[in-house]
């Protein structure tokens, strides 16, 4: 079976940790109690089903996608804090992208390398 791949750009530190961390987010199953006297069936959320066994990470499917989320000043601050732009390649069926960001299965992705954020900005803004 042929699978296409997508390049993902992610802001992360030397340990692979992104700038946003929310330890309180959990995906849960539907409640198993009765709703309006009808029998309830437990179902996983779509997110829980899609991410079962996955280590998901957030990123962007292009540099322009990344620049819609972070402005230059924010990127320079992240650069000064030691963050880099990690470049991953991932099977396209293991990525979900919206207009603002993407989520991908890190277990199914290969990290191709990292770019210094300031170097990326210089390359984008130089004539």
pLDDT of 59-68, one tens digit each?
Answer: 999 999 999 9
**Residue 61 has what pLDDT?**
95
The parts of the chain modelled with pLDDT lower than 70 are 1-3, 21-51, 53-54
Cβ partners under 8 Å of residue 115, min gap 6:
84, 85, 87
Q: Which pTM does this prediction carry?
A: 0.73
Q: Which residue has the tokens 């409640």?
A: 31
pLDDT of residue 28: 32
Comparing CA positions, the residue from 52, 53, 51 lying closest to residue 95 is 51
pLDDT of 17? 85
pLDDT given for residue 127 in this prediction: 76
| Residue position matching structure tokens 């300031």 | 118
**What is the domain partition of the chain in residue ranges?**
5-20+33-125
According to the model, what pLDDT value does residue 124 have? Answer: 85
Give CA–CA dist 111/102, Å, rounded. 16
State how far the Cα of 59 lies from the Cα of 75, in Å rounded to an integer: 14
**pLDDT at residue 113, as a whole number:** 96
């Amino acid at each position: 079976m042929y699978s296409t791949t997508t390049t993902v750009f992610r802001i992360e530190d030397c340990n692979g940790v992104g700038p946003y961390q929310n330890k309180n987010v959990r995906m849960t199953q539907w409640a198993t109690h009765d709703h309006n006297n009808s029998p309830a069936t437990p179902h996983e959320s779509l997110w829980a089903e899609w991410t079962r066994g996955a280590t998901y990470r957030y990123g962007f499917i292009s540099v322009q996608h990344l620049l819609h989320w972070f402005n230059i000043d924010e990127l320079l601050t992240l650069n000064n804090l030691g963050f880099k732009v990690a470049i991953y390649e991932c099977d396209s069926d293991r990525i979900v992208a919206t207009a603002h960001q993407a989520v991908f299965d890190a277990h199914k992705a290969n990290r191709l390398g990292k770019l210094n954020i300031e170097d990326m900005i210089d390359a984008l803004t130089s004539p």
